[in-house]
Amino acid sequence: MGTDTKQKLSVALKLAWGVGSVGTVSVLTITALLLLFFMTTVLGIEPALAGGLLFGAKLFDAFAAPIMGGISDNWKGRWGRRAPFLMAGSAVCALGVILVFNPPAALAGTPLSGWLLMSLVTIALGYTLFNVPYLAMPAEMTSDRLERTAIMSWRIGFISLGGLIIGLMPKLAATWGGGRGGFGAVGLLLGAIIFATMLTAGFAALRTRRVASTSASVTGIKRFAPVLANKPFMLIMTAKILQLVGIASLTASILFLLKFVLGADDSAVVYYISAATAGTMLTLPLWTRINSRFSKQTLYIAACLGYALMVLSWSLAARGEPIEIIALRGLITGIFTGGVLLMGQSLLPDAIDEDCRKSGVRREGLYAGAYSLIEKLSSAAGPLIIGIILSVFKFNPSLGQGVDQPADAITGIYFGASILPATLYALSVIPLWFIKLETVPTTEAEADPVAAPAE
């Protein structure tokens, strides 16, 4: 299967589009990695309540994602269907992040919870404005599946970079005085990063190939019929739900694991995430290359099983574990993470494109909205589940001071950081096994029957 040179995209365009993923993964990782820890150990909020606030904000906004997809698909304007929403979403996301890490000092109890919920809803709305049209773009930027894998390799590289940036934040917060002040400064920095990277992708959207809107004007539940009827897409979504809940559970637990179980300092998470980032970025070219010899489905399954085994290895970790072992675990986990992310992300536009080729209707935004709904609910479910687990296992929240945790709490942290995510990733292999995608046509006209010149 060759790559049509007419479908090739410039490196500069791929880079500019991909850098938006630093913003998206920052938003997701802030929710999963930082906020549950910040709300419990800095603000002193009970874990189940903190998890409930995180989930409630996502639930409030999640159902706006498919609506946003339809709006984006049918938008007409001089800037195209996607760019205006990417630009607006960058500003709203940045504002929400600044607010959530900087609650007024006078707030406590219910007013503090109200402030946090308002800030989280702002983040979620901004994320929808940006991410739904952003995810819709790869399926329309090019019709060549191998080129889409190349596009996604840039995205995954920037996802890894974004994860590394967020991994530095606990150490930065401690360096800047810790507590509310340290995390408040971190919020300002993260807001600036999110705004700049998302806005860059918005400008890139102005330079991508545009296609004419062919979405049918169907409203209500009927508009989701094509999504539900697309078997490959639904199988990918089933796997994604399991994986996203799993990674969100691990991410929400990792700071608790490192601090309260292993007794590591704030730099441990930096070593772990740095090593994981290195593993992902260094092996992305390898995953891309072997994709020409093995199917995305096969590589996806292999990467999921490898990731599950590495996550399970956290159950063997104990207090005083050398930082070299923590970093090695991160490195190997990062290698498998690259395969999971790259193959999963590049299969999505293939499944969306199959619907387009069969129906002649372009509805990438609708699919991106459906995916964003699943992504939000699944990612928010992780902190909710971990918050409940910590509460059930008697985790003792503190106001920024070290508190020795009971044995039951340590058991709960092990379960949330290792057993649960490993099991979910292993189960995600089942739906992946049944994915069947048709062979892509080799000519550009066949591959993209509804492509149109820029508006």
Please state the domain extents for the chain.
Answer: 11-213+230-442
Selection from 192, 240, 195, 191 nearest residue 370 by Cα: 240
CATH number of 11-213+230-442: 1.20.1250.20
pLDDT tens for each residue of 34-54 = 888 899 888 988 888 988 898
Task: Give pTM, 2 decimals.
Answer: 0.71
What pLDDT was estimated at residue 5?
42
- What's the pLDDT band for 342 if we cut at 50, 70, 90? confident
- What's the pLDDT band for 209 if we cut at 50, 70, 90? low
- Give the separation between CA 176 and CA 178, rounded to whole angstroms: 6
| Dihedral (CA of 93, 98, 102, 107) sign | negative
Selection from 49, 432, 30 nearest residue 241 by Cα: 432
Selection from 345, 338, 324 nearest residue 279 by Cα: 338
Secondary structure class of 107 (helix, strand, coil): coil
Selection from 376, 312, 386, 374 nearest residue 127 by Cα: 376
Strand residue runs (E) in 316-417? none
Q: Where does residue 265 rank: exposed (0-12), middle (13-18), buried (19+ CB within 10 A)?
A: middle
Selection from 309, 245, 233, 185 nearest residue 28 by Cα: 245
pLDDT tens for each residue of 188-204 = 999 999 999 999 888 87
| Cα dihedral 39→43→45→47 (10° resolution) | 30
- With a pLDDT cut of 90, the percent of the chain lying above it is 26
Residue 229 CA: distances (Å) to CA of 226, 355, 431, 449 = 5, 9, 15, 21
- Give the separation between CA 146 and CA 292, rounded to whole angstroms: 8
pLDDT tens for each residue of 425-447 = 999 999 999 988 765 444 443 44
| pLDDT above 50: residue 27 | yes
- What's the mean pLDDT in 166-187? 89
The total number of residues written for the chain in this structure: 455
Token pair recorded at residue 262: 């292993």
| pLDDT above 60: residue 370 | yes
Q: Between 439 and 68, where is the model more confident?
A: 68
